[in-house]
């Protein structure tokens, strides 16, 4: 073979390898896209390029359909979020608190029919008619702590009983058991009841009775030491400028307590959700109360069970809860009959996690 022919031979061979590699890579990429439409849904979601970060976990049974993290914990000098990041889950704390109350009920240490006056003395007359089930179902008529004057400036500690007294001192929005009205204050009182009945702090009870038994190793009460260990800033989107900016700081943990003070990674939330919805923790009779829409005194139904929002997605019963702090939000869904679990966290307000949740869950249900 002459040198010229030799060069032509290797040129043709190299081109063939490059072209073959290109098409192989393209086919492989297309196959990956087809195999993981969930990642494509997240990538195509209108997530502002200056938005700091998001974590998504979607599972079906033991199979992880998507576990993805994008962005950073803060805009300035931030570090990249990863899928194991511990973040504030805000009001997703509430169904966990409800689980603790139902565990105490299961052990006959309280009844959800008990008036709270059985455990809290010297309440205003109207508040004495509130039962534990009213707190669980957001039908107590109690004020939302977010509505307290200057709540977002509450960066100092407060004794739990002092906060309870503040909440109960404000006129009820409606008579207990007659209307649905979302109340963080009601769940603060549930935290107080857990402490009074168990003789432990809320954080210690949750650790000993729920988190450790379920091997939820990366979930914590978000006191100042945890916030310092896992810093993350909330952000808001300026619609006029199309940019994200840092939000105000979240209130001190004492002010949100059992209503929203927990920090967790996505896998810990998954372990808890799976254990609850697969009836591995609460007995069926007790669990049914949590997962049934609460009936009001006039025979109508409220909007939630005990800690859970209950609805339908593509004909399947879905149990959900959202969480929100200044500039931060989270959402979780469970569809037990399809064995689906979803958790999303974003350190920005102004985007709809609900829309992304529906898209991901509908796609997963199409695969059934």
Q: Tell me the per-residue pLDDT of 262-295, one tens digit each, with 9 for 90 and over.
A: 999 999 999 999 999 988 889 988 888 889 999 9
**Residue 132: CB partners within 8 Å, gap ≥ 6?**
101, 110, 111, 112, 113, 114, 116, 190, 193
Residue 79 lies in a domain: no
Least confident range from 22-26, 102-106, 162-166, 257-261: namely 22-26
Q: Which domain holds residue 262?
A: 87-327
206 in any annotated domain = yes
Write the CATH number for 318: 3.40.710.10
Q: Is residue 131 part of a domain?
A: yes
**Is 125 within a domain?**
yes
Taking a C-beta distance cutoff of 8 angstroms, is the pair 307, 99 a contact? yes
Question: Residues 172, 179: contact at Cβ < 8 Å?
Answer: no
Residue 275: inside a domain, yes or no? yes
Q: Rounded mean pLDDT of the chain? A: 86
Lowest-confidence range among 25-34, 143-152, 312-321?
25-34
Is the pTM higher than 0.85? The answer reads yes
Find the largest Cα–Cα distance for the chain: 105
Query: Residue 18 falls within a domain, yes or no?
Result: no
pLDDT at 150: 64
4 within a domain of the structure (yes/no): no
Of 50, 58, 37, 44, residue with least CA distance to 269: 58
Q: How many domains, in total, are found in the chain?
A: 1
Residue (of 183, 186, 194) closest to 221 by Cα position: 194
d(CA 136, CA 141): 12
């Amino acid at each position: 073979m002459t040198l010229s022919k030799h060069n032509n031979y290797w040129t043709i061979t190299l081109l063939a390898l490059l072209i073959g590699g290109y098409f192989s890579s393209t086919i492989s990429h297309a196959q990956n896209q087809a195999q993981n439409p969930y990642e494509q849904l997240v990538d195509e979601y209108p997530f502002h390029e200056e938005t700091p970060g998001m974590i998504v976990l979607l599972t079906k049974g033991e199979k992880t359909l998507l576990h993805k993290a994008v962005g950073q914990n803060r805009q300035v000098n931030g570090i990249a979020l990863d899928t194991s990041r511990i973040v504030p889950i805000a009001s997703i704390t509430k169904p966990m608190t409800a689980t603790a109350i139902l565990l105490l009920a299961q052990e006959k240490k309280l009844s959800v029919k008990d008036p709270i006056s059985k455990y809290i003395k010297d309440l205003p007359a109207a508040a004495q008619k509130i039962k534990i089930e009213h707190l669980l179902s957001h039908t107590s008529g109690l004020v939302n702590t977010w509505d307290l004057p200057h709540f977002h400036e509450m960066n100092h500690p407060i004794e739990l009983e002092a906060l309870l007294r503040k909440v109960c001192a404000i006129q009820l929005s409606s008579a207990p058991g007659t209307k649905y009205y979302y109340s963080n204050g009601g769940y603060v009182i549930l935290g107080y009841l857990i402490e009074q009945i168990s003789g432990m702090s809320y954080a210690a009870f949750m650790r000993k009775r729920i988190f450790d038994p379920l091997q939820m190793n990366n979930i914590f009460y978000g006191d100042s030491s945890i916030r310092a260990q896992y810093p993350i800033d909330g952000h808001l989107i300026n619609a006029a400028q199309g940019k994200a900016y840092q939000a105000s700081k979240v209130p001190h943990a004492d002010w949100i307590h059992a209503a929203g003070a927990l920090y967790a990674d996505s896998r810990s939330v998954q372990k808890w959700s799976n254990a609850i919805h697969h009836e591995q923790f609460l007995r069926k009779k007790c669990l049914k109360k949590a997962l049934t829409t609460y009936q009001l005194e006039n025979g109508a139904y409220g909007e939630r069970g005990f800690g859970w929002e209950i609805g339908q997605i593509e004909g399947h019963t879905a149990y959900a809860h959202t969480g929100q702090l200044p500039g931060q939000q989270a959402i979780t869904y469970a569809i037990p009959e399809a064995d689906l679990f979803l958790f999303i966290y974003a350190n920005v307000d102004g985007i709809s996690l609900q829309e992304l949740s529906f898209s991901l869950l509908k796609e997963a249900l199409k695969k059934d």
